[in-house]
Chain A
Amino acid sequence: DAKTTQPPSMDCAEGRAANLPCNHSTISGNEYVYWYRQIHSQGPQYIIHGLKNNETNEMASLIITEDRKSSTLILPHATLRDTAVYYCIVFSKAAGNKLTFGGGTRVLVKP
């Protein structure tokens, strides 16, 4: 019962912005969009989340479309250390307070 769709992989040039898309066309009004990443051999790491407004923190920016059916995670200046699998997840406390990970997007940052 995947609630998000992401491309399986993408490449990005070091120093350039990386734009990672995610479709969540069945998202409900009380569901948030969360992004995590997993660097090889490590546990997943929280990046950012949002409900309907765009969000920015020290790691990334999250752009959510007005209809909330899709979003884009932006890594403004990708570095080699940003090479990882990035997961887009729809989350609702009301639905059980649990995060369900899909396949994610494998991002390779190239020099």
Chain B
Amino acid sequence: DAGVIQSPRHEVTEMGQEVTLRCKPISGHNSLFWYRQTMMRGLELLIYFNNNVPIDDSGMPEDRFSAKMPNASFSTLKIQPSEPRDSAVYFCASSFGGGELFFGEGSRLTVL
């Protein structure tokens, strides 16, 4: 298996633009997680899905952030409009539902 695949790996955009991050989980996994990592705040869980259903989005910072999982093999994290403080590395991870998560290589977002 190719592992969790994230795209884009790097994104540079200007404040106010819409950003869409994509994730393809490992086939057969039924849980998907979006994390954000910054120097100041470390690794933060934004939202997670079980069987394509959002279970806990309490980590989503504000209404500018939204996440969807239309099917078992694809998820998106959207930021609209983006702000400089959204600059971070965004990780997607998937699992069979236990504590062993498989992480992607991350999407590094820079908002100017």
Taking the complex as formed, is B67 at the interface, i.e. its CB lies under 8 A from any CB of chain A? Answer: no
Interface size on A, residues (CB 8 A): 24
**Are A91 and B99 closer than 8 Å at their CB atoms?**
yes
CA distance A43 to B102 in the complex (A): 8
Taking the complex as formed, is B56 at the interface, i.e. its CB lies under 8 A from any CB of chain A? Answer: yes
CA distance A46 to B93 in the complex (A): 11
Taking the complex as formed, is A100 at the interface, i.e. its CB lies under 8 A from any CB of chain B? Answer: yes
CA distance A93 to B42 in the complex (A): 23
Contact of A97 among B31, B91, B104, B105 (CB under 8 A): B31
Q: Is chain B's binding surface mostly helix, strand, loop or mixed?
A: strand
- Write the B75-112 contact mask toward A (1 if CB under 8 angstroms, else 0): 00000000000000001010001111111111000000
Output the least CB separation between B16 and chain A (Å). Answer: 28
Output the least CB separation between A51 and chain B (Å). Answer: 11
Within 8 A of A (CB), among B45-65: 45, 48, 50, 55-56
Residues of A within 8 A of B (CB): 32, 34, 36, 38, 41-46, 49, 87, 89, 91, 93, 96-104
The 18 sampled A-B contact pairs (Cβ below 8 Å) are: A41-B106, A42-B106, A43-B4, A43-B105, A44-B43, A44-B103, A45-B103, A46-B102, A87-B43, A96-B55, A96-B56, A97-B48, A97-B97, A98-B56, A99-B101, A100-B45, A103-B42, A104-B42
